Chains A and B, each alone.
Chain A
Amino acid sequence: MFVTSAYAQTAPAATDPHAAPAGEVHTETGAAHGGEHGGGVFPPFDSTHFASQLLWLVITFGLFYLLMKKVIVPRVGGILEHRHDRIAQDLDEAARLKAEADAAVETYEKELAAARSKGHQIAETAREAAKTKAAADRAAIEAELSEKLAAAETRIGEIKAQAFAEVGQIAEETASAIVDQLIGAKASGEDIKAAVAAAKTGA
């Protein structure tokens, strides 16, 4: 049974019908494997193909090596280097922008401080000016008031003096009238005057 199946498998390969029985034996059992590939050698150790293996290995691996060396390695290396450079460049750019932003913030802070101090200064000046003006106004008003007061006092003094002066005359007239009524004679003006003056000083 095995023989026939083996025969069926090898038969198409065997062109010479006389070679078929040999093929049957080879393929049938493990022990006969060797016969199939000449010399009964385990195929990896079969030296009949070494020359061809070496030649084709040299051709294919040589080509592969050249391709790697000339095309692939420079290309991949270039890609990686380009990316590396790009990342470094982007980092530099980011650092530069950050420095710029920091500088802008610093300038802003400086300007803000300057503006603040300037505002403070302006407020101070305005306050100072207002204070000075108020003081000046007060001084002016006070001066005016004291002037008016002085004027008023002078006037009062005048009126008082005038009133005192008029008091003597009124007293003389009154005394003259009283004397006239009492004694029915006219007293001389000099006497009355003297009497009034004496009363005045006595009072």
Chain B
Amino acid sequence: MRSYAIYVAKRILQFALVVFVGISITFLITHLTPIDPVEHAVAQVSTFGFSSPESIELLRQSLKELYGVGDNLWEEYLIFWRRLAMLDFGPSLSAFPTPVSELIGRAIPWTIGLLTVSTLLSWFIGNVLGGLAGYYSRNRILRVLGMIMMGLHPVPYYIVAFVLLIVFTFLLPILPSSGGYEMNLRTGWTPQFVGSVLMHSILPSLSLILVGVGSWFMGMRALVSNIVTDDYVTYAALAGVPDKKLVTSYVMRNAFLPQITGLAMSIGAIFNGAVITEQVFGYPGIGRLLVEAVHAADYSLVLGITSIAIIAVSAAVFIIDIIYPLIDPRVQVSQ
């Protein structure tokens, strides 16, 4: 138990480091800008002339703190962190005066839902099929499957999503093309609404799964084909352990472990994919909010989303890292 505590403490340190570096890069990037974002933004809002002077002042205040057009860079940096700790990014510019945190809060469940389901599914499907392909390496169907996976894997998310969109909404219109649910439905836990959400999530998650499954498949196939030649497997096979049991409890079980570490390492890349997938399918998650915010020149929203994305992704990695030793007892000893 004590070694587990040390392990967790190390992971917490790493988590803190990731957030620190990520947020610092964010801070640096926003300070590279040659133009004064605060006055630029204030001018943009006040040209429409519908806001009260108090709310404009509030906006200027929060922008100044976020972009830190104060006197001292260190001071600005500290104020930036304080804002972030309170998750207060001020009011959004494009949806003035709705706070940025509220917009993000509304979008984030969609992204988390989409990502959790598609990541776990592609991880599971890819590993099981890849494990079988590694074990039964002469099986013709699995070989063809391997070639398909290899062809799909290097194709970027955008292209897969785009092709799916054309095929299933244009050539063969059976699935909804955009949105998270049907427009005229009331949100709530009614069967109709849940069904609509599921229907709308099929294409986005399918495109994420199609791209994601390939790397798990190939990684697992390589791992399994190495393990198969290990002495303990040969011994078990000679001792008469049935084939099915050999694959599941002797070979695949061990090969799954490095794949869990792989999952933690790929979360960031999966998140990148989700941003573009949401954009293609008009899914109301954080990725689409980000793209819209850029087009609307909404500084606070872009900054808010970037910071939240960094924290959320590193938190997901942290959680996987924490769970890992519970599955693989060797980690506690070696770490």
Determine if chain A interacts with chain B. no
